[in-house]
Amino acid sequence: MTGSPQPLLFGYLRVRLLAPGITSVEIVEQFEAYARTEGYALGTVFIDQAHTAPAGFDALIEAVKQHEVRAIAVPTLDHLAVLGKPPPLTEFLQRTTGAQVFVMDP
C-alpha cells in the first residue's frame, strides 16, 4: 500500500539574480532537492527574465490558486522583490494563495 502523494511545491526565481554561470538545469535540480528535503514534490518553476517581470510572478500566483499548491520556494528573499520589498511580498503570497513560502538560502 502506498502512502498519500506528496504535496506540490512550486518554485519562482528571477534570472538576473542568479549567480553567474548557473544554468537553468542546475537551478531546477536545486529546487528538486529542496522540495524532496522538505517533503514536497516539485511542480513548475516559474521564471522571470528582466524583460518579462512580473509575468512569471503573476502566473505563479494563478497556478498556486488553481492547483491548490501548499508551498512556494525561492532561492533567496531578493527574488520576491519583483513588485516591492520581500517581506511584505512573502506575507502577500501567503495571504493571497494560502501557500507557505520557503527561502532556500535564507
- Kindly report, residue by residue over 69-101, the tens digit of the pLDDT: 999 999 988 888 866 676 777 888 899 899 999
pLDDT score, position 2: 54
Report yes or no on 56 lying in a domain. yes
- DSSP H helix total and E strand total for the chain: 3, 4
What total of structural domains would you count in the chain?
Answer: 1
pTM of the full structure? 0.88
The enclosing domain of 67 has a CATH number of 3.40.50.2300
> Does residue 2 sit within a domain?
no
Per-residue pLDDT band for 1 (boundaries 50, 70, 90) equals very low
Is residue 40 domain-resident? Answer: yes
Sequence length of the chain is 106
pLDDT tens-digit series, residues 10-54: 999 998 888 888 888 899 999 999 999 999 999 999 999 889 888
Q: Select from 45, 49, 53 the least CA-distant residue to 71.
A: 45
For the chain, what is the radius of gyration of the CA atoms?
13
| 1 within domain boundaries | no
